[in-house]
Amino acid sequence: MENVTFLQITESLRKLPPDKLSLIYDFITFLSEREMSKTMLREAGKSYAIDTMLASEAVLRRDWDSPEEDEAWANL
């Protein structure tokens, strides 16, 4: 993913009509609240299912990326 600067974001925001700015604000608020929730849960010792999924992906890939699996799923 490309690094984006505040200047780039600001320049893009200046080009938007006011009704789009409210949508952007809602989205930013949603992202901020979601990050805060994740942080609070992690600090409390809880994790997300997505964290487990991502952690196990490399291990499962060894079984998924095999000629036997490719053959088994070839007809689907």
Angle CA(61)–CA(42)–CA(45) in degrees, nearest 5?
95
Domain membership of residue 33 (yes or no) is yes
pTM of the model as a whole: 0.45
Residue that wins the pLDDT comparison between 7 and 51: 7
Domain membership of residue 58 (yes or no) is yes
Residue that wins the pLDDT comparison between 61 and 3: 3
Domain membership of residue 28 (yes or no) is yes
Please give the Cα distance from 39 to 32 (Å, whole number). Answer: 11
Check pLDDT > 80 for residue 73. yes
Domain membership of residue 1 (yes or no) is no
The number of domains in the chain is: 1
DSSP-assigned letters across all residues of the chain: -----HHHHHHHHHTS-HHHHHHHHHHHHHHHHHHHHHHHHHHTT---HHHHHHHHHHHHHHHHSSHHHHHHHTT-
Identity of the residue numbered 4: V
Quote the domain boundaries for residue 56: 6-73
